[in-house]
Structure 1
Amino acid sequence: MSRTLIETVAALRVARAAWRQRQDESRDVESFPARDAVARIVETLATALYPRRLGGFRGTAEAEDSFVAERLTLALADLEREVAAELGYWQAEARSSFDPDQAGMIVRLFAATLAEVRQLVDSDVDAAFLGDPAARSVDEILLCYPGALASLHHRIAHQLHQLGAPIVARLISELANARTGIDIHPGATIGSGFFIDHGTGVVIGETAIVGNRVRLYQHVTLGARSAPGDTRDGGRPRHDRHPIVEDDVVIYAGATILGRVTIGARSTIGGNVWLLDDVPPDSVVVQPEARRLDRAAGATLRDVLVETAD
């Protein structure tokens, strides 16, 4: 090896040692679920949920059931392996050893939710078709819309998060984030008929609760406010700290809603609004309307700023 390479390897060894000294080495880091494996699982599950549109299946109804069974057998077996890896990662923190069938039980309970997952994704696709005049068919939405892709991932991830596989669930949500720019924590609770239009930059936090038939546009944040002194687990906030958005709310592009506030049903939140307080039902919250300057009369931006300051 060259001297430069030898020095680089040595410097990396020092960096690793410093990191490991600060971390909990009791965890089995080699058991951490594999991102590539989780990606294949989600892809296979998607073909089981939508065998014709996402799985490319062509055939009779009886053959379709066989196709779905085959896809599920592959996906669930792989999922059990990754959930078992996650349990191995957490074992050092558990009060007692996990049951040998813990991973299998989680996967069986997850499989029982797949019909509900399919129905929720269908409701999201329907909402997008009704809400977007540019959409020509529900198939276009399912195959092309980033909001539909993010919804499919979230509906799967949320079930696994609830059942006790938070790392696998988080990997699934981050796969969607990487592809769409939509960041939904798998812990977030989202009702039916959820529509994210355009989507890039949308962020929905872990403890957010979103009602039915809610519509979000790009760059909306349902985030948390920092809460000094109200923490646990080494100083990280773990309380319910994200917004509650009730049924039939529309939130336009760039709006930022922070903290455990409630946006009342049927309200509309305008673009670029910054909200830290509750909003009653049937409200409309907007920024001041933009002003047009009359350049012919000599008006300048400086005049407006001075007027605002006064």
Structure 2
Amino acid sequence: MEKFYSTLFARQQAAHDMPSNVRIWEWARDVFRLMFPERNSKKLLTVEAVKATFTILENELYDLLLNSKDCIGCDHREIVQRFFENLPHIYHLMLEDAQAMLDGDPAANNLSEVIRTYPGFLAICMYRMAHQLWLDRVPLFPRILTEYAHERTGIDIHPGATIGRHFHIDHGTGLVIGETAVIGDHVKLYQGVTLGALSVDKVLAGQRRHPIIEDHVIIYAGATILGGNTRIGHHSVIGGNVWITSSVPPDTTVFHKPQIQFIHSKVDR
């Protein structure tokens, strides 16, 4: 047992080479709540209060980066400055995503409902913040943010994926978007869609492994699209439960045609 205790103690030291997952995602949650007060129980009464809260969050991100030994080579100030300079653009993209969900879901009554309740909105917002940190090569933080959203919503978006404007996730549970996936503008994905790799061999790390989805594509529930050479052409519709490993031309409808076998049996009366 002494050896076991020593092993756990050594892991304790290594585990604290960066701030806790809780601190990191709470910071992102607070940024999200500041942009979308529908999610925030605290009401800010003046513009100065909003500015002061942003300053606090900027300093907190700097402190998180500074206390991460995994980010020794990072320019902490530059990363913080770039993140918050890009935040108005990220916010605009988030609003477009909310509008896409409102426009595309007959059950949605207004933007406030989408922002307050839709798991897809939370997942895409966390992805968009995480993606900015991913572009700045911040280690581990982006994965912590998207895995927080994954845990909360069942929607798994890798922060390395590239996702365009006006993105609509409908329901979303079980949705998987891989690291090198590229998604265009005005794309709508339903629950259980997988944009994955044909192989998970470790030698493929750093290579394109996931599909490209062009603009104005709809992919229905349970569809699986695999491979870095697979491209779904613009304005295509991919039906539910299809399995695709090769490219689809633009303006194409793909659907799954099940083979149904009827078994007749005699019942003694």
1: CA distance, partners of 2:215 / 2:174: 22
Aligned to 2:220: 252
Deviation at 1:68, TM superposition (A): 1.9
1: CA distance, partners of 2:5 / 2:221: 46
Q: Verify the 8 A CA contact 2:154 2:174 in the aligned structure 1.
A: yes
1: CA distance, partners of 2:55 / 2:115: 24
Aligned to 1:270: 239
Residue 237 in structure 1 maps to residue 202 in structure 2: no
TM-score by length of 1: 0.78
RMSD: 2.5
Decide whether aligned partners of structure 1 residues 38 and 45 sit closer, same or farther in structure 2, where only a CA change above 3 A counts. same
2: CA distance, partners of 1:274 / 1:198: 20
Q: Verify the 8 A CA contact 1:51 1:68 in the aligned structure 2.
A: no
2: CA distance, partners of 1:178 / 1:199: 13
Aligned to 1:169: 142
Residue 30 in structure 1 maps to residue 46 in structure 2: no
Decide whether aligned partners of structure 1 residues 188 and 299 sit closer, same or farther in structure 2, where only a CA change above 3 A counts. farther
Report percent identity of matched pairs: 38
1: CA distance, partners of 2:76 / 2:163: 25
Decide whether aligned partners of structure 1 residues 15 and 120 sit closer, same or farther in structure 2, where only a CA change above 3 A counts. same
The one-letter code sitting in structure 1 at the alignment partner of 2:122 is L
Which of 266, 281, 291 aligns to 2:250? It is 281
SS in structure 1 of the partner of residue 135 of structure 2: helix
Q: Structure 2: which 5+ runs fail to align? A: none
Counting only pairs closer than 5 Å after superposition, residues 76-225 of structure 1 correspond to structure 2 as 76-86=58-68, 88-91=69-72, 98=73, 102-225=75-198
Deviation at 1:48, TM superposition (A): 2.4
Residue 46 in structure 1 maps to residue 32 in structure 2: yes
1: CA distance, partners of 2:200 / 2:144: 27
Deviation at 1:29, TM superposition (A): 4.5
Q: Verify the 8 A CA contact 2:17 2:70 in the aligned structure 1.
A: yes
Deviation at 1:44, TM superposition (A): 1.5
Q: Which range moved further: 47-56 or 122-131?
A: 47-56
Deviation at 1:204, TM superposition (A): 0.5
2: CA distance, partners of 1:208 / 1:189: 6
Deviation at 1:49, TM superposition (A): 1.4
Deviation at 1:32, TM superposition (A): 2.2
Q: Structure 1: which 5+ runs fail to align? A: 1-8, 21-26, 92-97, 301-310
Decide whether aligned partners of structure 1 residues 196 and 299 sit closer, same or farther in structure 2, where only a CA change above 3 A counts. farther
Deviation at 1:57, TM superposition (A): 2.6
Deviation at 1:221, TM superposition (A): 0.6
Q: Verify the 8 A CA contact 2:38 2:112 in the aligned structure 1.
A: no
Q: Verify the 8 A CA contact 1:124 1:192 in the aligned structure 2.
A: yes
Deviation at 1:250, TM superposition (A): 0.5
Aligned to 1:73: 55
Decide whether aligned partners of structure 1 residues 299 and 268 sit closer, same or farther in structure 2, where only a CA change above 3 A counts. farther
Larger radius of gyration: 1
Deviation at 1:31, TM superposition (A): 2.0
Q: Verify the 8 A CA contact 1:185 1:204 in the aligned structure 2.
A: yes
The one-letter code sitting in structure 2 at the alignment partner of 1:271 is G
The one-letter code sitting in structure 2 at the alignment partner of 1:191 is G
SS in structure 2 of the partner of residue 278 of structure 1: coil
Aligned to 1:3: none
